[in-house]
Amino acid sequence: MKALILNYGVGNIFSVSSALKRVGFNVVIDVIPKYEYDLLVLPGVGSFNALKKYFEEYGEEIKNVMLGGTPTLGICLGMQALFEYSEECGGCKGLGILKGFIGRLATHRKLPHIGWDRIYLVKWSDVCELFHDLHKEYAYFAHSYAVYPETLDYVCMVSVYDAIFPAAVGYQNIIGTQFHVEKSGYISKKFFEVLARWVKR
């Protein structure tokens, strides 16, 4: 299996690459989205503003690859990028694959939200099944902004940081995690093993 990690100038690329290699992927890191891969990965550490210029150049190509059926994983910022726009950078556009926007996490607690919190499976579907074994486990978060989806139909998991927010989404060939699944200890192994089986299906 071949995985393409998009290098758009942000993201914990090394950790994601290592996690994918451990479950059998051959990993390529490139700026340009391409069709000939079994998995497309949008990594995520950094500000949404960092994606603005990249999406102006490659956004339509990424969407075409995803809408063409390539299994896609978005992590943290990469999950947020799946939605229409982000208030973090004054309303700059995301990919718009999923309806909704990115806004500041609705909490009275200190931001950014950094640390370990439980994640809860709230929807069962073919794609949300990837997260079944992670229900009530602890995952690692590092973010100040969260997804405000137009519909809950594709919200697979939630977590709580004073307020409830989407922790993972799933829609057809697309999955996303607000938590850093590549940094989440032993559940990382669980998740990436299931991911590999999902890609092979």
Number of CB atoms found within 10 A of residue 194's CB? 17
pLDDT recorded at residue 15: 92
Q: Looking at the predicted structure, is the pLDDT value of residue 11 above 70?
A: no
Mean pLDDT, to the nearest integer, of 26-40? 95
pLDDT recorded at residue 52: 84
The catalytic site residues sit at 76, 180, 182
Q: Looking at the predicted structure, is the pLDDT value of residue 193 above 90?
A: yes
Delimit the domains of the chain by residue range: 2-200
Phi and psi angles of residue 20, each rounded to the nearest 5 degrees, phi first:
-70, -40
Model confidence pLDDT, tens digit, residues 174-186: 999 999 999 998 8
Model confidence pLDDT, tens digit, residues 103-142: 999 988 999 999 999 999 998 888 998 899 999 999 999 9
CA separation (Å) from 56 to 34, 61, 93, 109, 175?
17, 10, 9, 34, 23
Q: Terminus-to-terminus CA distance in the chain, angstroms? A: 12
pLDDT recorded at residue 47: 77
Q: Are 58 and 157 in contact (CB under 8 A)?
A: no
Q: Looking at the predicted structure, is the pLDDT value of residue 145 above 70?
A: yes
Radius of gyration for the alpha carbons in the chain, expressed in angstroms and rounded: 15
* Superfamily of domain 2-200 in the CATH hierarchy: Class I glutamine amidotransferase (GATase) domain (3.40.50.880)
